[in-house]
A and B are shown apart, each in its own frame.
Chain A
């Protein structure tokens, strides 16, 4: 069962070269703010093994989002290297980063970020449009992904016709439909009430186990963070292991 494999895999049981999903070395990210340079991220060393479920916590403005941007290939660091699956994201061109995002990384956002004019199935299909899947294949896989998150009967509903929890489940289906290696979640339960929070977290955990994902979540919610195998704390751009 993949659950056992994933949850128990330790970095030393598999050769390290294959098991490390992310390797950050001397990564900094600076922003110009009112004429001054602000260092948003300063990570000396961080390794995230494949299949790990990581929660990132920390104060607002501490660098959580910046770290997520680096891990998600949305932005390049000012200096240092971020190795993802053997490639250094810091040196790739924008188009190459785009391809990596399209194929290997799934995103979940606090505000769900669904396209308001597209129905649930079409929203899921947007993730496949860039992966060369034909129309019939896209439709089929989108419906499967929606079924996997329990929304088979809501495929033709617009986001505005769905509850917050349902919208986030559509977003999870969109993130997972392309079978990514990594799922990055930015406050996935931040806009949900408790009941929906648990519902979404159970879904995420189930998908993480079943699909052998590396799941990295930024969260304020300690209840959510406690579910993770590993908790990182980031403040003033520095990452520390939380107890």
Chain B
């Protein structure tokens, strides 16, 4: 009787059933889409971050930005670099002087600190591992200048100059500034830090035995753009390094953190920063202890910036970040609003249905139906309406999510340059102008700062947005439709139960 009556009611009042179910379906579908996009965005953020920080890093420690100091020959860390050429610099031939200089210094915005900090960090409670790195930028200047003593005759390019210095013909100058990022890291600690999130494409990764040697691992994207290969060589800080491996990001959508990876002690020696590091990657023994570690680190190392993955997620910028806030704000409120509207619709329709059926319920009570039986009947009808809506909503949500995954919208993600991160190198490359470019020569030449284009591009990574669906999202959506149905049913049933059986005797319909 129960199911017969229920089925007959829903079929007999088809329009009401359809309206309630459609309202519920739209709300449920929106909840599913917003949820899956939002988890897709979280994945994308994690992907951007892991390509920068490596997998498994819970906390990063960097030195707070300080006023530039003149710690190194040639240029202050992070300051506008300067290249000095002596009277006899370069080799002159055919009327021009070819000069080339390569300099390795800390990345703009990074500040080095003593690597004793690393052992301090390792001694903090709940820290299961820590690795220090030295983030550097190699800037090389190369080109030709007119030889004052001779008549100009032919141009010459030299060193790692990217564009051919053809512009020098006729007494002009041609020079280029090439810049790439270098990370010095402890080969023995590659389970943590930037190299932990890379995939070896060819050759080998750095090994403990590489300490102190001039070997380098190169990012695949950079290697391709510079035509570098394993067993080839790359000049860093004026020294030739043997390329032993090419690595790419595990995320197909992003490049790795740095162009070139070299052993930490070699990097320290070349940059005249023995015993210095710029970043520490910290792993917690449990994710529950991350905040405790952060607090401890901040107490013990007041001059450093301690950032958790959560802090870092906020540094992800670009359209990924825009989408993230759009989804978390508009999407969330829209789905809550629609859900409330759908629930209200279901409740109102149920109540008006009960009012319309006053005599029907009165009659059933008159022939002996209990309040509980009538409440159960009304609640059952609402619940099934909710479930039909839920099922349609899940189907609709799955279709919409599928459509998003097929369309695979590409979002740009960058890591914004705050005061903390090791990311300034990228932003700086784009905005710093041409450090050391001798504008005084002022003559038509090759494109100034030709090397920076490639650098600046790395600041923004294109991430394909996937909208992953989990069973939990679907179960949650079905649960919501059940809640909506039960809510409407409970309110409608309560109204029906309050009716007096003598309503059946009222002759007015």
Check: A126 CB closer than 8 A to any chain B CB: yes
Given A117-B8, A125-B1, A109:B505 Cβ within 8 A = yes
Given A111-B509, A118-B5, A74:B501 Cβ within 8 A = yes
B368 adjacent to A101 (CB under 8 Å): yes
A107 adjacent to B500 (CB under 8 Å): no
For the complex formed, measure the closest distance between the CB of B12 and the CB atoms of chain A, giving whole angstroms.
3
Given A111-B359, A118-B8, A69:B505 Cβ within 8 A = yes
Q: How far is the CA of A187 from the CA of B2 in the complex (A)?
A: 30
User: Quick one: closest A residue to B12, CB to CB?
Assistant: A117
For the complex formed, measure the closest distance between the CB of A152 and the CB atoms of chain B, giving whole angstroms.
20
| Chain B residues within an 8 Å CB radius of A127 | 367-368
Q: How far is the CA of A68 from the CA of B502 in the complex (A)?
A: 9
For the complex formed, measure the closest distance between the CB of A78 and the CB atoms of chain B, giving whole angstroms.
14
A186 adjacent to B505 (CB under 8 Å): yes
Q: How large is the interface on B (under 10, 10 to 19, 20 to 34, 35 or more residues)?
A: 20 to 34
For the complex formed, measure the closest distance between the CB of B15 and the CB atoms of chain A, giving whole angstroms.
13
Contact with B along A103-116 (1 / 0, CB 8 A): 10011011101011
Q: How far is the CA of A110 from the CA of B507 in the complex (A)?
A: 7
Residue among B2, B12, B502 having the largest count of chain A Cβ atoms under 10 Å: B502
User: Quick one: closest A residue to B363, CB to CB?
Assistant: A113
For the complex formed, measure the closest distance between the CB of A17 and the CB atoms of chain B, giving whole angstroms.
26
For the complex formed, measure the closest distance between the CB of A63 and the CB atoms of chain B, giving whole angstroms.
13
| Chain B residues within an 8 Å CB radius of A110 | 507
User: Quick one: closest A residue to B365, CB to CB?
Assistant: A98
Q: How far is the CA of A130 from the CA of B368 in the complex (A)?
A: 7
Those of B238-260 within 8 Å (CB) of chain A: none
Contact with A along B470-509 (1 / 0, CB 8 A): 0000000000000000000000000000001110110101
Check: B364 CB closer than 8 A to any chain A CB: yes
User: Quick one: closest A residue to B366, CB to CB?
Assistant: A107
B365 adjacent to A122 (CB under 8 Å): no
| Chain B residues within an 8 Å CB radius of A65 | 502, 505
Check: A198 CB closer than 8 A to any chain B CB: no
User: Quick one: closest A residue to B367, CB to CB?
Assistant: A127
User: Quick one: closest B residue to A101, CB to CB?
Assistant: B368
Check: B369 CB closer than 8 A to any chain A CB: yes
Check: A10 CB closer than 8 A to any chain B CB: no
| Chain A residues within an 8 Å CB radius of B373 | 129-130
User: Quick one: closest B residue to A72, CB to CB?
Assistant: B366
User: Quick one: closest A residue to B360, CB to CB?
Assistant: A115
| Chain A residues within an 8 Å CB radius of B507 | 110-111, 187, 190
| Chain B residues within an 8 Å CB radius of A116 | 12, 360
A74 adjacent to B502 (CB under 8 Å): yes
Check: A192 CB closer than 8 A to any chain B CB: no
Contact with A along B346-365 (1 / 0, CB 8 A): 00000000000001101111
Q: How far is the CA of A98 from the CA of B9 in the complex (A)?
A: 24
Check: B4 CB closer than 8 A to any chain A CB: yes
Check: A43 CB closer than 8 A to any chain B CB: no
Check: B13 CB closer than 8 A to any chain A CB: yes
Check: A231 CB closer than 8 A to any chain B CB: no
B1 adjacent to A126 (CB under 8 Å): yes
For the complex formed, measure the closest distance between the CB of A153 and the CB atoms of chain B, giving whole angstroms.
21
Given A75-B502, A118-B5, A98:B370 Cβ within 8 A = yes
Name B5's contact: one of A74, A101, A113, A122 (CB within 8 Å): A122
Check: A169 CB closer than 8 A to any chain B CB: no
Those of B1-41 within 8 Å (CB) of chain A: 1-2, 4-5, 8-9, 11-13
A101 adjacent to B11 (CB under 8 Å): no
Q: How far is the CA of A214 from the CA of B4 in the complex (A)?
A: 32
A95 adjacent to B359 (CB under 8 Å): no
For the complex formed, measure the closest distance between the CB of A50 and the CB atoms of chain B, giving whole angstroms.
20
Chain A residues near B (Cβ < 8 Å): 65, 68-69, 72, 74-75, 94-95, 98-99, 101-103, 106-107, 109-111, 113, 115-118, 122, 125-127, 129-131, 135, 138, 174-175, 186-187, 190
A65-B505, A107-B504, A111-B359 known; 11 new pairs, CB 8 Å cut-off, are A74-B501, A75-B500, A75-B502, A94-B371, A98-B369, A106-B367, A118-B5, A127-B367, A129-B1, A129-B373, A130-B367
